[in-house]
Amino acid sequence: MKRSLRREDWLTIPNIITLVRLLLLIPICYLLAIDSSPVVTAILLVTFGATDWIDGYVARRFNQVSKVGEILDPIADRLGVAVIALFLVIGHHLPDWIAYVVIGTDLTLAIIYLVFKGKYRAKVSYLGKVRTAILMAGLPLTVFGRISQLSFLGSIGVVAAAVGAILHAITGITYAATIFNMRRVDRTTGQD
């Protein structure tokens, strides 16, 4: 018998922080779309990145890890990075290929996940954490580079975003390989 999702399973401080991270996408994308207020946009991007670390820390520190959080947090990360990269590309602040790599990798993994009905999930790897940190640093640096006194940060941000995108593709390949390997093992052992 399936147990119903209780309030304490999803209404946790880390999940609320993750939802705030998702809501931050609205003003971030708006400001990127109108190409206005680079200081505010950069601060919101830094906040977006910081909440990724904060929700995980709070979840572990106060034993508020939840199944909902384990699903919602990576969705917020992936959706946020993809959307922000897309808006930076649309505004001509990042090369197009960065958004294509990030979005293409995420869509491919989402399709694989859906094909297997969510049965197989690769655990977050060290490389995945490094990739996320680099992307979460590169995107705001790109925006900080739009401030005339900090224009040098724009180039650093673009390089970091490019490195992050390449690591994103590599991580995506390793996650896909892990999922297919789990599937193969299940088929071999008859657990499929």
CA 128 to chain centre: 10
C-alpha to C-alpha distance for 67 and 7, rounded to whole angstroms: 12
- DSSP output for 94-130: S-HHHHHHHHHHHHHHHHHHHHTTT---PPPPHHHHH
pLDDT per residue rounded down to tens, the chain (192 residues): 444 445 556 789 999 999 999 999 999 999 999 988 999 999 999 999 999 889 989 988 998 888 888 888 888 988 999 999 999 999 999 999 999 999 999 999 999 989 988 888 888 899 998 999 999 999 999 999 999 899 999 999 999 999 999 999 999 999 999 999 999 998 888 776
∠ CA(9), CA(65), CA(124), 5° rounding? Answer: 125
Show the domains of the chain with their CATH numbers: 8-189 (1.20.120)
CA 71 to chain centre: 12
Q: How far is CA 66 from CA 84, 146, 157, in A?
A: 26, 39, 33
Cα end-to-end span (Å), the chain: 20
Q: Within a 10 A sphere around the Cβ of 87, how many other Cβ atoms?
A: 22
Mind listing the pLDDT tens digit for each residue in 11-23? Answer: 899 999 999 999 9
Amino acid in the structure at residue 113: Y
* Contacts of 9 by beta carbon, 8 Å cutoff, 6+ apart: 66, 67, 68
**What's the whole-model pTM score?**
0.85
Amino acid in the structure at residue 60: R
Amino acid in the structure at residue 1: M
